[in-house]
Structures are given as structure tokens and as C-alpha cells.
Amino acid sequence: NQFSLPRTQAEEVIEDIEEQVNGTGRIKRQAFRDKWYTRRLWSEGVNYYIDPSATEDKLYVFQETGCWSNVGRRGGKQSLSLGKGCESVGVALHELGHTLGFFHTMSRHDRDDYITINSENVKDDWHGEFTKETERTNYNYGLDYDYGSVMHYGIHAGSRNKKPTMIPTDVNHQETIGSEMLSFVDISMMNDHYGCKERCDPKISAQCENGGFPHPRRCSECICPGGYGGRTCAERPRGCGDVIEATTSWTQLQDTLGYGT
């Protein structure tokens, strides 16, 4: 079988082979090895890039106690800590979200319409994580509250007694709060925040459907919400689901989730 790799990944594979041949093999990471992976996740959907060269304003990523970052650009050398236990892609995306200007989703000024905070279950040193912003400090560009945002904690975050610290108003989200990956709303809001959507002239850009919007760097294509694909978000994403025709009689459908084990 044949397969191809992007140049950066191919170079790392060659590097691994050379190190094994030379007897200097490092401990391999089990996860994806692309060192720019987290940067690409944001940049593929958001019209910005991080220049690795030194500038007066820079982001200093280092290992200190805990996972933390200031909210928004501060200027100069700005710190972002990924300490022990913070090594996952989801945590890095979350902290970069803070650096780029995002508060926690559960800190939105309108959060009480969507979740209830169980303060009695919150650890003493975690109460600050659940501070609610005001309309003056928090603007959400008209986008709905997103239970699946990478900026949303899980329901047991900061719990002192293993009981939920948050309860969703919509019980359908009881087990699906938070995410390790960027949601469509995350990407859409970041594009709004930096004015990236304005780069595409609506007269000549893709006419996106189902809530999608033109890609800021490829205005003839759309960035689509989950469940939609194609150039205008009017199609089913490749490899996702199937088309089933309804009939006037009952039909039994059978399928297998996962690996069937």
C-alpha cells in the first residue's frame, strides 16, 4: 500500500529512523507528532498566523505549575504555562484561546440561561474560574451559548466532592459539556473577534448555507458547522453518515456503532 505524508511529518519520520539506526532513539510520543499541530488547528479556520521569529510582542510558552494564560494580548513577552498534566492538545487549544481573547464559556454574561453553577461543590481555589462576566466585559457577537466549546469546562471541573459543579439547563448536554477540540462556534467567534469575515466580499464570495461562512483565506469556500460539508455547506460531509430515503411504510434499520465489540 502507498501513502503520502506532508513534508514536515515526513521529515520527522526520517529523523526517527536515523536516530534508531544511530542508536540514539528517543522515547516516541504516542500522539500525533506534528509540533505545529495546535497552531494549525486554530490557523486552518482563523485568518491569522504565528510568526516563529522573535518580535517585541511574543508568546512565551513554558512549563510552570498549572495550565494558565492571560486573556487577550498584553504586549511584550506574554506567558502561557503548560505545566505537568497540561500536555494534551485540548488544553493547549484552551490556553491559546485565552491568549487570543476568549473567556471561559461558562463565564459568559448570559450563562445563567444555560447552566447552573453549584457553588457548594466548587473547591475554594476554583471559584474564580466560574466568575460571570458582564455585558460590558463580554461580547459574544450574537453567537449562541456553546456547550461544546473548547473553552467550556466539564460538569465536574473543580469539584471538591466529585459532584457536578455545573448543571446544563438543556439536559441533553448533561454528558457532552466541553470538548478537546475546536467547535464551529469557537472558530466563528474568533473570526468575528479579529474581523476576519470582513475580508470576503459578500458579492463574490461563496454563498454559504446552514450557518456557514466564507473561509477568510479562500472566499470561494465555506467553513461549515458540524454535519454539513461541500463548498457551500449544503452537502453531507465526506465519510459521515449516509442518505436514507423515507417511504410510506415502516422500515427497520440496523447498524453498528464503534467496532462492534
DSSP single-letter state for residue 28 = P
Asked whether the beta carbons of 212 and 222 are under 8 A apart, the reply is yes
Asked whether the beta carbons of 104 and 151 are under 8 A apart, the reply is yes
Asked whether the beta carbons of 229 and 240 are under 8 A apart, the reply is yes
What distance in Å separates the CA atoms of residue 52 and residue 68, rounded to the nearest whole number? 21
The answer on whether 156 is annotated among ligand-binding residues is: no
DSSP single-letter state for residue 159 = B
133: helix, strand or coil: coil
The answer on whether 104 is annotated among ligand-binding residues is: yes
Catalytic residue among 95, 135, 221, 235: 95
10 Å Cβ neighbour count for 79?
14
Catalytic residue check, 95: yes
Torsion angle, CA of 114/120/124/125, rounded to 10 degrees?
-20
The answer on whether 193 is annotated among ligand-binding residues is: no
Cα–Cα distances in Å, from 111 out to 106, 200, 211, 220, 249?
6, 32, 22, 35, 44
CA-nearest of 231, 120, 233, 253 to 184 is: 233
Annotated catalytic residues are: 95
Annotated binding-site members for Zn(2+): 94, 98, 104
Query: Which amino acids are annotated as binding site, given as ranges?
Result: 94, 98, 104
